[in-house]
Structure 1
Amino acid sequence: MTTSYLDLINRGAQHHRDRTAIVFGDARLTFTEVDELSSQLAHALGSLGANRGSTVALLMNNGLYSVPMDFACVKGGINRVPINSRLSLSEHVRMLMDTHCQTLVFAPDLIERATALQEQIPGLVTHGLGVSMEGGVDLLDEASRHSKKCPKVGVQPTDYAVTLFTSGTTGTLKAAQHTQASYAAVCQNIFQNFIDIAPDDSMLHAASLIHASGVFVLPFWLRGARTVIMPGFDPLAYLQLIQKEKITSVNMVPTMLQMLLDHPSFHGADLSSLRHIIYGASPMPRPVIEKAISLLGQHRFWQYFGQTEFPLAIAALRPEDHVPELLGACGRPSIDVEIRLVDEAGNDVPDGKEGEIAVRGPSMMAGYFNAPALNQEMFFDDGWLRTRDVGIFDERGFLHLKDRTSDMIISGGYNVYPREVEDVLLAHPAVAECAVVGLKDPKWVEVVTAVVVLKPGQVSTESELINFVAAQVASYKKPQKVIFVSALPKTLIGKINRRVLREELAAS
């Protein structure tokens, strides 16, 4: 029998009833309270027309209802689409339109964006959590009138459970779909390849729960451990919560770790409870991980290499492998994942040679939503998935990333795609040509940098162009630097040569 996401939710609820499951600020929910509330929310959604097979968008920052709302969708057989609140209105509109969402659930602090989306998308129904607006209901109030028993909707392992947007390697938004079975397999992947979780453990979540951090909720739920949620990352509050809640596990992007190490309160903090410091959303700068190991000890650090299409750990670097010669490695392949290195035609490359990483395993996505051409491009006939990352195995079997097959920039744990930013810049009346690249940065890993050629006779400033971009895309995508040049390096066929440009900028 294939285990489903719903099976695992039900098992955790049955085994750990009165234990604390969720902590958010001063509020605490037991396993039974989360289980019953999520069932009520599932019934409420069903009464409002969101039934098995429906697609529902969730517009929420980290909060008390993040986990109950996710579980409600699973119980109702709903394909949930979490959308990052930091994205622009136009990006949100496209995400909802692309996935055919007709229902949006939003948190009170995002009512303005929900209102704007309702205005932009005809027929969109918007339900608030603790608030209501025209055409929708207060979903918490509606839920209070429904049964606390899990609805019987006939959920199947092959049902879509969550659709996660990623720009992958192309810069174009893509919707990766995970099923009830594949998301359960992600949980199993963590148990098999990552940390051991005990009932008295707790994990602190400051990064968005719709990203990699949220993947750990279900494994902790199954073991009766606590999920401690912050609305966002603040180094001092983070340190204080580790001590107050005796946190045993954290998941951090490099920028968060560096900010923590640099904070004045770090050296006085009691972090003795902390056993697992997990990272992997973006490459960890070597100076940061070396400093962290010297201050916190090698025995605490775990790295994962994964993708939205294949969470969480395609490969893992365990604490004992955090030695100088392996700090740049992804780790060894996970025991439940098959990895091949292939050429562009999909043929295996010779041993010791670089190749594109192709993967296969139970936790990979079912495919991209409504994208048959892209699915055909990314999947081989025998079920292997291309990652568009180039890697090489060393003689001990550790996987090392060599390059990306795109020019994607990773800044502060977020993916930024140059073409999207360039398209905005090129709409400015003073810009003739531009190229956006990532330059190495000790804090953000990479900073978004725009290199601009102005039209003859035109003038502009760095601040003007940054503000121009910021008005049209998410804040983290805007350039942090603008460099004005007279010409951009080109290839023989006239394309902008990003590699040469990056080398020139690094040298200067």
Structure 2
Amino acid sequence: MTTTYLDLINRGAKQYPNRTAIVYEDQAFTFRDVDRLSSQLAHAMHEAGARQGDRVALLLNNGPNSVPLDFACVKAGLNRVPLNARLSVNEHVKMLSESGAQRIVFGADLAEHTAALKAEVPELHCHGLDSSIGGGTDLLRSARTQPESAPTITVKDDDIVLTLFTSGTTGTLKAAQHTQASYAGICKNVLMNLINVEHDDAMLHAASLIHASGIFVLPFWLRGARTVIMKAFDPTAFLDLIARERITAINMVPTMLQMLLGHPDFEQTDVSSLRQVIYGASPMPRPVIEQAMAVWGRERFWQYYGQTECPLTITVLRPEDHEADLLGSCGKPCVDVELRLIDEAGNEVPPGAPGEIAVRAPSMMKGYYNADQLNAEMFTDDGWLRTRDIAVMDERGFLHMKDRTSDMIITGGYNVYPREVEDVLMEHPAVAECSVVGTKDAKWIEAVTAAIALKPGQQATEAELIEFVSGRLASYKKPRKIVFLDSVPKTAVGKLNRKALRDLLA
């Protein structure tokens, strides 16, 4: 028996009952408050008919109930299936079908959306938080009369506690399953490799808590530190909260950092408390990270590379390595992660050669739900997880990402990695965003095609941008076509969505 997710929740609650655990707008909740409410919600879900092992979908925007509800699912022995609130009813219907979830817990602001889901899936049991539809349960109301101690359940290391749909760009709907043990492993991975949480620390969350941002909650909970939650990212409010709440850590995606850089208060904000600016999820354009470091200082910036299938950190680029060519790296392998680069047959590639990243770690998923064929493809016979990411390891031990295998462009017999072209285009002063894909071409089979969003008031022509790239990369890597858009397609968590762009251009 190893340490479980439930063990870590109980440990934090017991050790720091009177400290502030959660801050949301003008509300503050102690560890005792969160522990009590999560236990009552666990009982309320059992009373509503949920049983240990059931898959329960969660449709919730960031708010004061985000953490108590997650903890309640663990205490009730439920397998939570978070649904991103930005997706459509049709997408959610498909996710409910794919995951087999027969119950959903929804926030009051998403009651109308849930009613539309219920209309499409009549057998769906709907439980609200300060809300109810179609005669369903209001779990918060029910929780008020429930016991304040958690239900008595027995858990095993391999019990599934989380089934999370990935935001990958391949177009295939995949649901990664994490267990009691693997989620505890994620917490240890973060504390060991990325952030040494101290007693009086505070982390600000503006990205959705159902993805990478939420993974930081448990490490902070375990150390008696605060989790400060925003409903959604707003640059003005974000900068204000860093100063007002004495925030010590933030987790960013490139789009968020770009918006902060463009804010008039960026350079004036008091960031004296801020020790770590953590970024990952998608590659950070070099001009963006260089500008941010020039203002806030290199010593604050930490990059991680990970996947939903193996959160949170597979590799980490530490502040002292944020320089020169290493800015194009994603760091060195984490101490609790085994990593190797392999070819299609599963053999290790020679040093310096590109290969697919394969990993083994306590934090990796048990497998995709209901996807035997996909699991057979993703796991090697000896238990290594194939990431579908292509990288090169340099002689210093730093991993340099090339791209996802599904995004590689083959043009005229040459391989082109979109990220390399995107990084160059982002150096052009008129370019705000860009995404590069391959499109069908009679001559080249695939033509390197760039979608560009220009900065307000800026201009650039197709010929100018192509010439800009051709002076910096091999000729075969330069875009053959440029398409100008108001914004480039992204996933719900802010990553470039090359699959959507390919579909749009087709």
| Alpha-carbon distance between aligned partners in 2 of 1:338 and 1:169, rounded to the nearest angstrom | 25
- Give TM-score scaled by structure 2 length: 0.84
Percent of aligned pairs with the same residue? 60
The alpha-carbon distance between structure 1 residues 167 and 199, as it changes in their structure 2 partners (threshold 3 A), is closer
Matched residue of 1:271: which SS?
coil
Q: Give 1:33's aligned residue.
A: 33
Alignment of 1:407 with 2:419, yes or no, is: no
Q: Secondary structure at the match of 1:49?
A: coil
Whole-Å Cα distance in 2 between the matches of residues 209 and 167 of structure 1?
Answer: 14
3-state SS of 1:118 partner: helix
> 2: distance between equivalents of 1:18 and 1:211?
28
- Counterpart-to-counterpart distance in 1, 2:238 and 2:159: 37
Alignment deviations for residues 317-337 of structure 1 (CA, whole Å, 9 cap, x no partner):
011111122101010000000
Match of 1:229 in 2: 229
Runs of 4 or more, structure 1, over 3 Å off, are: 437-451, 495-502
Q: CA deviation at 1:344?
A: 0.6
> Are residues 191 and 22 of structure 1, via their aligned partners in 2, closer, same or farther at CA, if it must alter by over 3 Å?
same
- What's the CA shift for 1:438? 12
The CA deviation at 1:497 is 4.8
Tell me the SS of whatever aligns to 1:273. Answer: coil
In structure 2, the partner of 1:346 is 346
Query: Which residues of structure 1 form unaligned runs of 5+?
Result: 410-417, 419-436, 452-487
Distance in 2, Cα, partners of 1:447 & 1:229? 30
Counterparts of residues 351-500 of structure 1 (less than 5 Å): 351-407=351-407, 445-447=433-435, 488-490=440-442, 496-497=446-447
CA contact (8 A) 1:40 1:143 kept: yes
Paired position in structure 2 for 1:308: 308
How many angstroms apart in 2 are the aligned matches of 1:182 and 1:375?
17
Aligned residue pairs total 444
SS in 1 for 2:29: strand
SS at match of 1:12: helix
Deviation at 1:308, TM superposition (A): 0.4
**Cα separation, partners in 2 of 1:103 and 1:438, compared to 1, 3 Å:** farther
**1:240, 1:408 → 2: CA distance?**
41
CA distance in 1, matches of 2:130, 2:285: 42
Give the superposition deviation at 1:196.
1.0
1:169–1:408 CA contact under 8 A, matched in 2: no
Cα distance between partner residues in 2 of 1:309 and 1:291: 32
Q: Separation in 1 of the partners of 2:114 and 2:480? A: 44
Residue pair 2:104, 2:124 contacting (<8 A) in 1 also: yes
User: What is the rounded CA distance, in whole Å, between the counterparts of 2:437 and 2:115 in structure 1?
Assistant: 33
Asked if 1 retains the 8 angstrom alpha-carbon contact of 2:311 and 2:363, the reply is yes
Cα distance between partner residues in 2 of 1:169 and 1:408: 12
Please tell me whether the aligned partners of residues 438 and 448 of structure 1 are also in contact (alpha carbons under 8 angstroms).
Answer: no
Seen in structure 2, the aligned counterparts of structure 1 residues 447 and 394 have a Cα distance that, compared at 3 Å, is closer
Tell whether the 8 Å contact from 1:438 to 1:447 is kept in structure 2 after alignment: no
Report what 1:267 is aligned to: 267
Mark the CA change 1:110 to 1:502 in structure 2 (over 3 Å): closer, same or farther.
farther
Secondary structure of 2:241's aligned partner:
helix
CA distance in 2 between partners of 1:381 and 1:353 (Å) = 23
Unpaired segments ≥5 residues, structure 2: 410-417, 450-475, 485-506
Partner-residue secondary structure (3-state), 2:52:
coil
Distance in 2, Cα, partners of 1:408 & 1:278? 27
Q: CA deviation at 1:304?
A: 0.3
Q: CA 1:306/1:148 → structure 2, altered by over 3 Å: closer, same or farther? A: same
Give the Cα separation in 1 of the matches to 2:11 and 2:34: 13
Amino acid at match of 1:353: A
Partner of 1:414: none
8 Å CA contact retained: 1:254, 1:445: no
Residues 436-476 of structure 1 show CA distances to partners (whole Å, capped at 9, x for unaligned) of x999557765358998xxxxxxxxxxxxxxxxxxxxxxxxx
**Whole-angstrom CA distance in 2 between matches of 1:444 and 1:12:** 43
- Counterparts of 1:75 and 1:447 in 2: how far apart (Å)? 42
2:134 aligned residue: 134
- Superposed CA deviations along residues 328-374 of structure 1, whole A, max 9, x for unmatched, are 10100000001110001111111111100011111000000000000
Kept in 1, the 8 Å contact 2:437–2:448? The answer is no
Residues 370-423 of structure 1: per-residue CA shift (max 9 Å, x gap): 0000000100011100000000111100001012201299xxxxxxxx9xxxxx
**Contact persistence 1:441–1:447 (CA under 8 A):** no
Mapped to 2, the partners of 1:268 and 1:314 lie a distance apart of: 34
